[in-house]
Each structure stands twice: as structure tokens, then as C-alpha cells.
Structure 1
Amino acid sequence: MRQRVITAVVALLIFIPILYFGSFWIDIAAVALALVALSEIFIMRRKIIVSLEAFIGAIGIVTTVLPAASFKWLPGTLTQGDLLGIVIAALLVLTVTSKNKTSYDDIGVTALSIIYIGTGFHYLAAIRNQDGFAMLMFALLVVWLTDSGAYTFGRMIGKHKLWPAISPNKTWEGSIAGVVVAMIFAAIYVQFVDLGHGAPMMMLIAFCLSIWGQLGDLAESALKRYYGVKDSGKILPGHGGILDRFDSLLFVLPMIHWFGLV
């Protein structure tokens, strides 16, 4: 527990200033976090991270995470989306040049990982850099409080397993309590921070984000269970890997954009 707390404090001391200043700093942080998360998937798959497939995947991650303005240097009418298409085509060519040692299934996982990880971290930076610091903090706190509420109340009163085949420790009682805690927080937050929407609307949004974030957590749990690992990585002592810490946010942050909140 001591190691877990120390890691959390150090991570927040680094992460919060980056969120506050945004701009170039959060773009770089988002790319770095996304690349580490992609490497965790390769390691879970027992794939070599120093490989052509991983290198192409890394290009896809950078292409997805960075804002469109970063690709003005592309010649002619090429766009960020075109570059991502070239990355997918390069992965397909790899199945040919490797004589199927890198299979279609392999590159399918890599391509999906680019979208899953890249999109989530793209919106981490995009929301902040669209003057959305208050909204980004709202989303982060909803996720963190949902997680804390679910863990605390699940241990106290949890009796009915939520999805034992995927995550045996989660309970319905904890899950519901996490949503309630998130909605209470939302009601308090909007009293002090102007998000451009009324309290009832933000409580409804908190409800949606809380549930969607828990599904993101379960999706990452399913990924780990499929590959037979407890944690996605070891970069954060006491917490596991980057995917372990950002699994809910990778689902929640795009939803902020879908709702048109920033």
C-alpha cells in the first residue's frame, strides 16, 4: 500500500502540472503514454517490441494521438487520416514480406490497438488544448471517484459479483456505489466550476461517463484475462501499467467529444 501511495503522489505531481499548462507539453505526454501502452500490449502478446510491426504500430499511434495541425507538412492533399491509412497498408504488406510470420490476426490486434489507445490519448490532449481544463478535470475526477467509490463500497458491502468471468473482484454494489459517488461529485463540482451546462445535465453526463468508464475497465480486464496476465505492465509500482491506470479514461475521453462538451 505504501508503494502504491508513493507512486500515486509522484505521478500526480508530474501529471497535474502537464494538464494545467497543456499545449505542447500535454501533446508530448499523450504520445509518450500511448507508446508505452502499445508496448504493453505487445508484451502481453509475447511479441518483440523492437520489431518492424511495433515500429509501424508506433507510427500509427503518433499519427492518431497528435492534433491535425501537426500534419500540415504533408505534401499535396494528404491528411492525417491518409497517413493512418498508409500505416494500415504497411501492416498488411508486412504479412506478405514476413511470409505470414506476422499474420493477419497479428496486425489486426495492432491496428485495433492503434485506434483504441490512440483515440483515447488523442482526446486527453485535444480536450485540454481546446480550453477544456475544467471539463478534463471533471472527466478525470468522475473516473477516479467512480473507481474509488466502487472499490471502497465493494469491499464494504459487495456481495453480488458484477462479471466474475472477466473481473472476479468487482461487485454490483460497488459498481452502483461508484456511479452514485460520481453523480454526487458532479452536483458539487458544477456549483463551483462553470462548465457551460446546468447541474442536472452534468449529473446525467457524470452518470453516462461513470458507466462507460467501468465498461472500459472491464474491456481492459478482458484483454488481460485473454493473455493470462494480472497487470498490463510494471511501469507504475503498485499500480501496474499505463493501460491499468488509463483503461477507463480511454473510453471516457472520446465520449466527452461525442457529447460535444468541448
Structure 2
Amino acid sequence: MFTRIITGVVGIALAALIIQMGGALFAGFALVLSLIAWFEYARAFHKKGMNITFITGIIGLFLLWGCAWLGNAEETMAVSTGIVLVVLLESVLLHGRVSFVNACTSAAGIFYFGYPFAHMVMLRFLYPEQQLATSFGPFEFGCAMIWVMFIGTWASDTFAYFTGSALGRHKLCPTISPNKTVEGFLGSVVGTTAAVAGLGVFFSLPVLEMAVLGFCISIIATLGDLVESVAKRYTGIKDSGNIIPGHGGVWDRFDSVLLTAPLVYYFVLLSGIGLK
């Protein structure tokens, strides 16, 4: 537990520095995280006896990250199409080593990690000219929304854990994640909605829209956690890795963020809160 706490404190401090600095540091860190998560994914399915197209995945993640960094949707579509074609072609050219199921699993993993971290980059640099006044000084809009995404996701996990531990009686998804309870999930919904609404007050953003965003984050974060739980049960692993002492791997720590990052990005665009 002590190791977990120390690692958590150091991790939060490092994350705060990278988020606030932004620029190439933030974008580069997002790329590194996606590559580590891809390695953990490939290793997990390799233990299941599957041959994942590892090198193609690395190249695909680089290209998807580059499209996000450049902010060109047409390039993203072209790269995505190319990734699918190349991975499927490998099941033909390397038929003895890469089966069609392996190829489909590989393509799913590339997009599973590539798209969310790409959206994280795009979110950080959204509306760069807009500054939000706070009691701690001005925040770039994209920086503020990255904090909303992370704090909302962490709040979802934290409220679910403590509410479930104290009041949990009814299992939410016993065959996938035996420790999750309905009570914990409801605690997550209430707590995350309130936390993100509070961030709306802090960043002087529309509180009603932020409360709706918090409600959505609580649901999507839970689903993100369950997606990884399904994958880990299928591959027979307990943790995706041990790169973060006391916390497991990057995939373990970012399983919910993989879904909440795109959610927050598109919520901002559709709600228009960045333009109010």
C-alpha cells in the first residue's frame, strides 16, 4: 500500500507538470504511453497463443499520433484505412504466422490505443487562444479540459471504490468484474457528476453542461474499465504490466481514459462550451 501511495503521488506530480507544460512534451508523453500500452496488449494476447502484428502496430500508433499532432482529419482517415489494409494483408502474406483472427485482434488493438491517445493530444490543443480565469491563474482551455477528463475519470473510480466498499451489496457484472457493485456504480455517477460540475465552477464553464459531462464520464469510465476486464479474463492475466509500482501497467491505469478522452473531446465540440 505504501508503494502504491508513493507511486500515485509521484505520478500525479509528473502528470501535473506535463499537462501544464503542454506542447511537444505532452504530445510526446501521450505517444510513449500508447506504445507501452500496445506492448502490454500484444504481450497479453501472445500469452493466449496469438501472434499480434507488433511492428505494424508501432508504425500505426506513430502515424495516428502524427495525424492528431498535425490536426488533419483526412490524414487520419487515410492512415486508418492503410492500417486495416496492411494488417489484413499480413494475414495473407504471413498466413502461417498471422491468422485472420490475429490480424483482426491486432487492428482492434491499434485503434483501441491509437485513437484515444490521439484524441487526448487533440483535446489538449483545442481552442489554444482561449484562456480560462481561475483562482490559480489563467488556464488554456485545452489544458483545463484535460484536467476535467482526468479528474472526472479518477473521481469515477474513487467514488465507485469507496461507495462500493461501504454499501456494496449487489454485483454489477459478476462474470466480468466480481468486485464492482451497483451501489458503487451509483456512487460513481453521483460523485463524478458533482465533481465535474464543481470543476465547471472553478473554470467558469457552464455548470449544467459540465454536470451532464460528469454524468457521461461516470458511465463511460465504468465501461472502459469493464472492457479491459473482459480482455484480461480472456487472456488470463491479472495485470497488464508492472511498469507502475503498485498500480500495474499503463493499460491498467488508462483503461477508463481510453474511452473518456474521446468522450470529452466530442462533448466539447458538440456542446460548444469552448465557445461560450
TM value normalised by structure 1:
0.90
1:125 Cα deviation (Å)?
A: 1.4
1:157 alignment partner in structure 2: 167
Secondary structure at the aligned position of 1:101 is classed as: coil
1:61 alignment partner in structure 2: 61
Any residues of structure 2 matched to 1:83-98 within 5 Å, and which?
A: 83-98=79-94
1:184 alignment partner in structure 2: 194
What are the ranges of 5 or more consecutive residues in structure 2 without an aligned counterpart? 129-141
Separation in 2 of the partners of 1:221 and 1:52? 19
Given that 2:156 and 2:217 are in contact with CA atoms closer than 8 Å, whether structure 1 keeps it comes out as no
- The letter of the residue matching 2:108 is L
Separation in 2 of the partners of 1:68 and 1:119? 9
Any residues of structure 2 matched to 1:43-54 within 5 Å, and which?
A: 43-46=43-46, 53-54=53-54
TM value normalised by structure 2:
0.86
CA RMSD of aligned residues (A): 2.1
Identity of aligned residues (%): 34
1:83 Cα deviation (Å)?
A: 3.1
2:133 alignment partner in structure 1: none
1:86 Cα deviation (Å)?
A: 2.5
1:237 alignment partner in structure 2: 245
Aligned residues, how many? 253
Separation in 2 of the partners of 1:185 and 1:71? 30
Separation in 2 of the partners of 1:250 and 1:79? 21
1:11 alignment partner in structure 2: 11
Please identify runs of 4+ aligned residues in structure 1 that moved more than 3 A: 67-72
Any residues of structure 2 matched to 1:56-135 within 5 Å, and which?
A: 56-68=56-68, 70=70, 79-130=75-126, 131=128, 132-135=142-145
After superposition, give the CA deviation of every residue in 1:25-50 in whole Å (9 maximum; x if it has no partner).
111111100011111111111269xx
1:192 Cα deviation (Å)?
A: 1.9
Q: 1:52 to 1:191 in 2, by over 3 A?
A: closer
- The letter of the residue matching 1:6 is I
- The letter of the residue matching 2:202 is F
What are the ranges of 5 or more consecutive residues in structure 1 without an aligned counterpart? 73-77
Separation in 1 of the partners of 2:216 and 2:227? 16
Separation in 2 of the partners of 1:23 and 1:203? 29
